[in-house]
């Protein structure tokens, strides 16, 4: 299934922000490799993206599984290469004070939020280098602010941000760019799970970030590498220097 089209890989793409990003990429003519753990919702997302004219390969699996990551890279190669890698899949973990936190849970949160993205990047870089591609790592304002109850999640996203900035420096000479995107507070299932008793209907849907994604994918990747962006910033002031 070779193609000369641009190809993007998006993890956590079956719903929420990942589905929005994949939709923008499909509108912009990218073929897609999409991933999520639940095969049913992932296949529904793939069908919707296919109706936009994209070739879509859905690869279900846990991103911490090395074999699942291998299948993702194989799928990108099947589509002809890789131009954009979006590491969106995340694990929130329990919300609560650090003094009550079961430290063993770090063995899940850090692998999902920091370890697996790095491992997938390691596998993807040879393909990205062929097309001077872009790595987009999805972070959170919790990576920069000490929100009570959000310590483990925020720490894992802070680790991802440092890894991203380091990768931007290390991969520049290989023609591969890497950026951080904080999408902002949104009405998603993960956000509702964080606040199960609260009404979050006043928060914007992930579609609020669409103008940012269209702007970002218009930029030469090398011009934005190493930067941190806030996708809901006012008046299109998206760049927040890392």
**Sequential pLDDT tens for the chain (242 residues):** 444 589 999 999 999 999 999 999 999 999 999 999 999 999 999 999 999 999 999 999 999 999 999 999 999 999 999 999 999 999 988 889 999 999 999 999 999 999 999 999 999 999 999 999 999 999 999 999 989 998 999 999 999 999 999 999 999 999 999 999 999 886 566 665 665 666 656 667 888 999 999 999 999 999 999 999 999 887 666 776 55
Q: Which residue has the tokens 């590498």?
A: 225
Rg for the chain, CA atoms, rounded? 17
Domain CATH code at residue 83? 3.40.50.720
In a domain, 2, yes or no: no
Whether 147 is a known active-site residue: answer no
**CA-to-CA distance for 122 and 88, rounded, in angstroms?**
16
Catalytic residue among 153, 212, 213, 238: 153
Residue-number span of the structural domain to which 71 is assigned: 7-240
Residue 85 lies in a domain: yes
Query: Is position 223 within any domain?
Result: yes
- Main-chain dihedrals φ then ψ at residue 235, nearest 5 degrees: 55, 35
Domain count, the chain: 1
Please state whether the predicted TM-score (pTM) of the whole model is above 0.75: yes
Centroid of chain to Cα 140: 11
SS3 195: coil
Calpha distance 199→211 (Å, rounded): 26
Residue 139 placed within a domain: yes
């Amino acid at each position: 299934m070779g193609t000369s089209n641009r190809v993007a890989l998006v993890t956590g793409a079956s719903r929420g922000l990942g589905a929005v990003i994949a939709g923008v990429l499909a509108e912009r003519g990218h073929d897609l490799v999409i991933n999520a753990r639940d095969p049913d919702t992932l296949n529904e997302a793939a069908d919707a993206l296919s109706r936009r004219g994209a070739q879509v390969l859905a690869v279900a699996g846990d991103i911490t599984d090395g074999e699942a990551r291998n299948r993702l890279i194989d799928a990108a190669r099947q589509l002809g290469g890789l131009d954009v890698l979006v590491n969106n899949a995340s694990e929130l973990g329990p919300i609560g004070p650090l003094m009550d936190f079961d430290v063993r849970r770090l063995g899940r949160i850090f692998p999902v939020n920091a370890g697996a993205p790095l491992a997938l990047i390691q596998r993807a870089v040879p393909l990205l280098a062929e097309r001077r591609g872009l790595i987009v790592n999805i972070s959170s304002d919790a990576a920069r602010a000490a929100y009570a109850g959000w310590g483990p999640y925020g720490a894992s996203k802070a680790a991802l941000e440092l890894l991203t900035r380091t990768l931007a420096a290390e991969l520049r000479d290989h023609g591969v760019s890497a950026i951080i995107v904080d999408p902002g507070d949104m009405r998603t299932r993960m956000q509702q799970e964080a606040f199960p008793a609260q009404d979050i209907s006043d928060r914007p849907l992930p579609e609020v970030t669409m103008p940012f994604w269209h702007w970002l994918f218009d930029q030469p990747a090398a011009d934005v590498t190493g930067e941190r962006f806030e996708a809901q910033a006012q008046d299109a002031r998206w760049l927040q220097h890392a």
